[in-house]
């Protein structure tokens, strides 16, 4: 259900930037979501279709890009990318790891007319 709040924030951001650009409508919104983020694309799209009605963003297409999860081992400094679930360092098997990317959620760009 936290997708409702984040979708409202996306709408607010897009509308604010469209107004600054004196746009007549928002056509596309590009969002980057880290693989470790718990946000679900379909839920965001569902709420978008409801929340954007009768706004400058109505009918705008949302494009989702998933950012891979990258980690670095705190014991051997080995950087690696997760292919599946969270796993230990493939080099030394340590579970002491730091996430360096994959938790992001951001509006990357907005296209307007």
pLDDT tens-place string over residues 29-81: 999 999 998 899 999 999 999 999 999 999 999 999 999 999 999 999 999 99
Of 98, 62, 47, 54, which is closest to residue 77 (Cα–Cα)?
98
Q: How far is CA 39 from CA 13, 95, 112, in A?
A: 18, 25, 25
Q: In 3D, which of 63, 65, 42, 74 has the Cα closest to residue 111?
A: 63
Mean pLDDT of 88-98: 96
Quickly list H helices, 1-113.
2-20, 41-51
Tell me what pLDDT residue 1 has: 57
Q: Which CATH class is domain 2-112?
A: alpha beta
Mean pLDDT, the chain, integer: 95
Task: Say what the pTM is.
Answer: 0.83
pLDDT of residue 88: 93
pLDDT, position 2: 82
Looking at residue 86, its pLDDT comes to 84
> Would you place residue 9 in the very low, low, confident or very high pLDDT band (cuts 50, 70, 90)?
very high
pLDDT of 38 reads: 87
- Three-state DSSP at 22 gives coil
**C-alpha closest to that of 100 among 73, 76, 75, 72:** 72
In degrees, rounded to 5, the angle at the alpha carbon of residue 38 between the alpha carbons of residues 37 and 43 is 120
Q: How many residues does the chain have?
A: 113
């Amino acid at each position: 259900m936290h997708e409702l709040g984040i979708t409202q924030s996306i709408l607010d951001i897009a509308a604010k930037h469209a107004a600054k650009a004196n746009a007549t409508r928002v056509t596309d919104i590009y969002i980057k979501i880290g693989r470790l983020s718990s946000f679900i694309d379909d839920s965001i799209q569902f709420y978008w279709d409801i929340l954007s009605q009768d706004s400058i963003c109505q009918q705008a297409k949302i494009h989702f890009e998933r950012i891979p999860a990258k980690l670095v081992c705190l014991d051997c400094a080995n950087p690696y990318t997760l292919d599946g679930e969270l796993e230990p360092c493939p080099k030394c098997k340590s579970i002491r790891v730091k996430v360096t990317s994959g938790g992001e959620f951001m509006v990357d760009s907005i296209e307007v007319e």
